Amino acid sequence: MNPSISQKAGESEHRGDPIPDTGSTSAGSLDLSVVIPCYEEGENIEALVDELDHMVETLVASGRTCEVILVDDGSRDATFELATALARDRAYLRIIRFRRNFGQTAAMSAGFAEASGRVIVPMDADRQNDPADVPRLLERLDEGFDVVSGWRRDRQDRWLTRKLPSHAANRLVSWVGGLKLHDYGCTLKAYRREVLEPVRLYGEMHRFIPIYAMWNGARVTEMPVNHRPRVAGRSKYNLGRTFKVLMDLVTLKFLGDYSTKPLYMFGGLGSLSCLAGSIFGIITLVQKYVSGAWVHKNPLLLLAVFLFIVGLLMIFMGLLAELLVRTYHESQGKPTYLIRERVNFDRTIAPSTPEGPMRSLDGVTDPSPHRSSAGSTDGPAEGQSGESTGGSIDLQNRRPADGSTNGLIKGKDES
């Protein structure tokens, strides 16, 4: 490691240091946090930290402060010991150690919770992601985007077991989530902090964060990033994750479309089931009275009763889900909407006067000008006090206390 990094780590933040060496930082106090989930990567950790040193030097040279949070996901090899030794002379390197293996999504959640950067960038610890791409992601983020997703266009993995399933999954996720990205599985992404704050991750849902962000109104884009073959250690990914992704995709669809209106889904399916049961019941009656078929020997009767009961149960399940959703939102004061920004709500409205409509008091020393007997507005007429008596507003009825509507309804003259 270049000695200048550890020296700069103890200096002031405004000079472009990686992180102020104060022992702790608050949320949003740094420009960047890089979060790296790590599981049994002892063979890669030293080379990874060397690359991170160069990344930090580049960021410092551009005037950005940063930290790197390495989350040891219950490794049983020497990953934690090696990382701890490397962190002793690197103030920017922070380490979290799990008691056992909880998975990549949990490791990311822990890193996000501890991150102090205004921008958060997760990446893998296997050195297939290139830390040199991080400054490029930040530059793209500065163009006005809230999320920049990495795209491993020249992916260095096996075609049959990795690239083919990934290609199919990306197309399916893009279709279900409504956000077209080439590579949801690429861990290397850049997020603005405010995009991640409302997101709670479970299962293997970390790959769907761009979709959550889009639902919250974020501007999402993607850019090609460098992808390298694994040179040490072994991959933790296998085809068994495909089933988990499909199940998470079902959860994603439900949360996206029906999280605040579950009765629409359960009620819709229940109504279709009741309708199908009614149709089979009608067919059973027609066969009895037209063809003389024995009802108790007709399997359609059992099918009709079964479908109708299932339909009723699904409708009642939807009603219970509605109660749960309302309890969830109202007990915690959670709104069912998200606001990007408010405009003009911090300005004070001056009371209306007979001479003009309501206007802001900001920067106005005399909000109630008076006319003199000659029609001048330079001051009060001779013999009159400087106080106005006709400019108060009845707030309940949104009109002046004297009953007039002058100044409240634009373009309406007094008779």
**CA distances to 44, 264, 315, 332 from 322, in Å:** 49, 10, 11, 16
Query: Which one, of 229, 220, 219, lies nearest residue 152 by Cα?
Result: 229
**CA distances to 63, 220, 379 from 387, in Å:** 56, 56, 11
Question: What is the amino acid identity at position 240?
Answer: G
SS3 at position 116: coil
Q: Above 80 in pLDDT, residue 358?
A: no
Query: Which one, of 20, 18, 36, lies nearest residue 111 by Cα?
Result: 36
The mean pLDDT of 348-365, rounded to a whole number, is: 61
pLDDT of residue 106: 92
Contact 201, 169 (CB under 8 A): no
Query: Which one, of 47, 105, 120, 33, lies nearest residue 73 by Cα?
Result: 105
Contact 216, 196 (CB under 8 A): no
Distance, C-alpha 379 to centroid of its chain: 56
d(CA 69, CA 328): 32
**CA distances to 161, 166, 217, 321 from 340, in Å:** 41, 33, 7, 28
Q: What angle do CA 338, 343, 349 make, to 5 degrees?
A: 130
pLDDT digits (tens, 9 = 90+) for 285-335: 888 888 877 877 788 889 999 999 999 999 999 999 999 888 877 887 777
Q: What are the start-end ranges of the H helices in 2-122? A: 3-8, 45-61, 79-87, 104-114
User: What percent of the chain clears pLDDT 70, i.e. is strictly above it?
Assistant: 76
Domains of the chain: which residue ranges? Answer: 7-258, 262-331
pLDDT of residue 161: 75
pLDDT of residue 382: 44
Strand partners, 393: 400
The mean pLDDT of 183-197, rounded to a whole number, is: 92
d(CA 249, CA 256): 10
Element of type H or E holding 222:
strand 220-224
d(CA 198, CA 213): 9
pLDDT of residue 359: 57
Predicted TM-score (pTM) above 0.75 = no
* Most confidently predicted of 106-115, 248-257, 320-329: 106-115
Query: Which one, of 259, 258, 32, lies nearest residue 123 by Cα?
Result: 32
> What is the 8-class DSSP label of residue 131?
G
The mean pLDDT of 373-384, rounded to a whole number, is: 43
The CATH code of domain 7-258 reads 3.90.550.10
pLDDT of residue 29: 83
Element of type H or E holding 48:
helix 45-61
Radius of gyration for the alpha carbons in the chain, expressed in angstroms and rounded: 32
Contact 140, 190 (CB under 8 A): yes
Helices 164-177 and 240-258, packing angle to 10 deg: 10
pLDDT of residue 378: 46
Mean pLDDT of all residues belonging to the chain: 79
